[in-house]
Amino acid sequence: MSNADEQAGPTVSGSLAHRVPDLGALELLLAVARLGSLGGAARELGITQPAASSRIRSMERQLGVALVDRSPRGSRLTDAGALVTDWARRIVEAAEAFDVGAQALRVRRDSRLRVAASMTIAEYLLPGWLLALRAQRPDTAVSLHAGNSTVVAERLLSDEADLGFVEGLSVPAGLDSAVIAHDRLIVVIAPGHAWARRRRSLAADELASTPLILREKGSGTRQVLDAALGGLARPLIELSSTTAVKAAAVSGAGPAVLSELAVGEELAMRRLVSVPVDGVALARDLRAVWPTGHRPTGPARDLLSLTRG
């Protein structure tokens, strides 16, 4: 053996998990030390005495030392067993502290939910889902950030949101998704607009050549319309919320393209009129999204389940 080998001393091979008894075995040894009986320790831990004996023997083989002297009068720790028991107590106490800390992390995680959602979903679908979630989890504090689909993706990827909802044609890079609903965009006008009196549907080229009240670029609504018109949509006004677009249309400022989810009341009250369009694909999927490989857990998982109810 070289001098270097002598200085290094003996080496230990294999992982720590193979060299250190598991927590169940250590808890059994502590119970034997406290009760002075292998049978009593087995009853306390809810296992049979043969299973307890087998576990002690397995631990003795693993460590290479005798831990317990067994006799008709009970079980007594050997000197080595007493030393191992002292070490075991520290390991079990550390494991208990670890468990308490992990539970605290779970409680903190489950006490809050950060949601980011595109405007249409945030305004017209999420309120009902969040009310249902509150009935299930009254102690969970929910924060909602409403923005366009680009903003939703940014917040999820920067860990500023636990669950997101988008309305675009595609899933933003870095996110997994699930379709939760289907939607359709429609062209709406104020009742006094000239289109309200027309008898035929709008053609795609006519819609593309008409200045429209639109959501801003980056929104799901705008993505669908731009794709349907080959990027030719002409903005009369660009606004950053569905409510603002709707209000401008109701005022008679011009035609708007909005989700049918957003204008049900206005159509029923005749504050807006829907104009049929031919040859334009305006259907879209509404999706829940989350960072790739990180399936929602806790309140985020529960909210996702409610969207499919």
The tens-digit pLDDT sequence of the chain (309 residues) is 444 444 444 444 456 767 888 888 899 989 988 888 888 888 999 999 899 899 999 998 988 899 988 877 778 889 998 899 999 889 888 888 887 776 766 655 557 899 999 988 998 899 999 999 999 988 888 999 998 888 999 999 999 999 999 987 888 899 999 999 999 999 999 999 999 988 899 999 999 999 999 998 888 888 899 999 988 789 999 998 889 999 999 999 999 999 999 999 999 999 999 999 998 889 999 999 999 999 998 899 999 999 976
Distance (Å, whole) CA 150 – CA 308: 23
Distance (Å, whole) CA 190 – CA 41: 81
pLDDT for 281: 86
The values of phi and psi at residue 68, to 5°, are -135, 130
Distance (Å, whole) CA 86 – CA 83: 5
Residue spans of the domains in the chain: they are: 3-108, 114-307
pLDDT for 141: 87
Place of tokens 């909005």: 258
Q: Dihedral sign, CA of 10, 16, 21, 27?
A: positive
> What's the Cα-to-Cα distance from 179 to each of 182, 247, 272, rounded to whole Å?
8, 29, 29
Pairing mode, strands 112-117 and 163-166: parallel
What is the second-level CATH architecture of the domain 114-307?
Answer: 3-Layer(aba) Sandwich (3.40)
Q: Which of 219, 265, 264, 224 is nearest to 242 (CA)?
A: 219
Q: Which of 134, 175, 126 is nearest to 290 (CA)?
A: 175
pLDDT for 12: 46
pLDDT for 186: 94
Distance (Å, whole) CA 215 – CA 239: 5
Please determine whether the domains at 3-108 and 114-307 fall in the same fold group of CATH: no
Distance (Å, whole) CA 209 – CA 221: 18
pLDDT for 92: 87
pLDDT for 96: 82
pLDDT for 241: 87
Q: Any idea which fold 3-108 has?
A: Arc Repressor Mutant, subunit A (1.10.10)
